[in-house]
Amino acid sequence: MPLDSQPVRIAGSRPKKKAASRQHKDNVYARIEETKFNRYIVHDLARYRTYIAEGGAEIYSEQELNELEAAGVSDRLPPRATGYYLNLAKRSEAVKNLIKARPEEMDDLSGEADPSNQLKYSPTPGLLHKYELVLLYVVRACSSWCRYCYRSDFLTGKTGKDTASIHEITEYIRSHNARVASGEVTEKPRIREALLSGGDPMVLSNRNLFDYLNGLADAGLDIIRIGTKEMAFFPERFDDNFFEMLDLFNELHPEVMLAFMVHFTHPDEFLRLNEAGEYVRDEHSRPLRNPVVESAISRMRSRPFITLENQTPIIDSVNDDPDALRLMQQELKRLGVNNHYFFQCREIEGHRAFAVPVEKAWKIHADSQHNLSGIERSRFALSTEAGKTELVSVIEGDERLRAIGGELGEALADGLVIFRLHRTPHGDRQSDLIIARRNPEALWITGYEDRILYDGRKPGRSEKWGQLLAALGPALLEAAE
């Protein structure tokens, strides 16, 4: 068929081929039970008004709703939340700010439609392939929508990103790994891991989630990650039927590990709050846990084939507080959840309403590490096109050094920021540095591009050192005279 006559596939219309996934497996799927959940999902403003009229949790005033409608905030990302999370928001300002839409979201919609140029790494619809890990978009929905969500373009369909067909994905994985084994492909390693994302994979039914888990395990993967915020948004999802499905998966694939990449953003999401929004503590002053969340985590931890990792961005008016971050890291580790990453808010469209400046976010995170043990600590990073880029240090400037002159003197007087390529698809650049002049107003790495003195993202040694050598030029010439 000529290319221009092929039918255009609408985003979200990937052929599921469930019958093919489940062929000759009636005895397996018969063991998977479903639960009919009633999450009381409220989305968009008209339905929220109906929810309030029926006695639901009120987090907007009528004036605020009118202002949101006038701003057209639903055009960017319709407000969405579970009844469970709305009730929690009544007692927690941080939780409220996480899901509560703001008119100022529409004031400045500058930013990347496709954050970090993800489509560049999409060899087949619904798949990102950047490392030995691939990411799959498996569903275009979450129980609630974080206002700062960097997948908002996928949720709204603005960039045409599609959901993944497990059959196309496993075919791609098998083909790629065979080419790696034969030596035909050398620039990328064998695919060993996959991350199920979206949207939130945990809004899928147990059988639909099993389709992906089973297909990826059959393709020979070692680890399957499930990225989810459902443990915060609707922890009741982690019920008997779900755990029985996981046990069935482990029975069939005992060599495959599951890693749940949970997304707790603030300790109020998993600690017990009284009606005044204060933590309930035991006789040793330790905060007690939300019993529903604690039960879900405990049941996960009882299974040796499952690990739990937490990662979240630092967001204005939500968790931009070192004391809250420190408490969260301490209590998550005590619950058995590892602290993985804290991220800089991505440069999505409208990010200026949520982002904390990079250097301020780094300082908040650095302060939160004080009095944490070695096993409680985390990293602060930017998830950029070049890979996971850790901000290692911010070095204060010294005004006396401006006398050196030129770009070098300016940089030393203003101070430096030092990034490290913590995770990159380019093996020859792993752990290399990016050194730039400070910019306290920068909200993303783009705010440093015209200030970089050494750029480890570039391939050749001369290219990496180019800007620094240019900055050194005047000083070297003066010294030679």
**Does pLDDT of 208 surpass 80?**
yes
**Does pLDDT of 157 surpass 90?**
no
Q: How far is CA 189 from CA 127, 226, 390, 422, in A?
A: 16, 21, 22, 17
- Assign 69 a pLDDT band (cuts: 50, 70, 90): very high
**Does pLDDT of 132 surpass 90?**
yes
Percentage of the chain exceeding pLDDT 70: 95
* Tokens representing residue 379 in the block: 């990293």
- Assign 468 a pLDDT band (cuts: 50, 70, 90): confident
Predicted pLDDT at 405: 86
72 vs 153, residue with greater confidence: 72
- Give 394-453 pLDDT, tens digit per residue: 999 999 999 888 888 999 999 999 999 999 988 889 999 999 999 999 999 999 999 999
Hunting for tokens 């490392």 — which residue is that?
131
**Does pLDDT of 481 surpass 90?**
no
Q: Where are the domains of the chain?
A: 42-106
- Assign 466 a pLDDT band (cuts: 50, 70, 90): confident
Question: What gap in Å lies between CA 122 and CA 208, rounded to an integer?
Answer: 23
Q: How far is CA 125 from CA 117, 162, 182, 386, in A?
A: 15, 6, 25, 21
**Does pLDDT of 115 surpass 90?**
no
- Assign 14 a pLDDT band (cuts: 50, 70, 90): low
Map the chain to HEC letters. Answer: CCHHHCCCCCCCCCCCCHHHHCCCCHHHHCCCCCCCCCCCCEECHHHHHHHHHCCCCCCCCHHHHHHHHHHCHHHCCCCEECHHHHHHHCCCHHHHHHHCCCHHHHCCCCCECCHHHHHHHCCCCCEEECCCEEEEEEECCCCCCCCCCCCHHHHHCCCCCCCCCHHHHHHHHHHHHHHHHHCCCCCCCCCCEEEEEECCHHHCCHHHHHHHHHHHHHCCCCEEEEEECHHHHCHHHCCHHHHHHHHHHHHHCCCCEEEEEECCCCHHHCECECCCCCECECCCCCECECHHHHHHHHHHHCCCCEEEEEEEEEECCCCCCHHHHHHHHHHHHHHCCEEEEEEECCCECCHHHCECCHHHHHHHHHHHCCCCCCCCCCEEEEEECCEEEEEEEEEECCHHHHHHCHHHHHHHHHEEEEEEEEECCCHHHCCCEEEEECCCCCCCHHHHHHHEEEECCCCCHHHHHHHHHHHHHHHHHHHHC
**Does pLDDT of 44 surpass 90?**
no
Q: Is residue 201 a contact partner of residue 237, using CB atoms and an 8 Å limit?
A: no
**Model-level pTM?**
0.92
Q: What is the mean pLDDT of the chain?
A: 92
Percentage of the chain exceeding pLDDT 90: 80
**Helices 240-252 and 206-218: crossing angle, nearest 10°?**
20
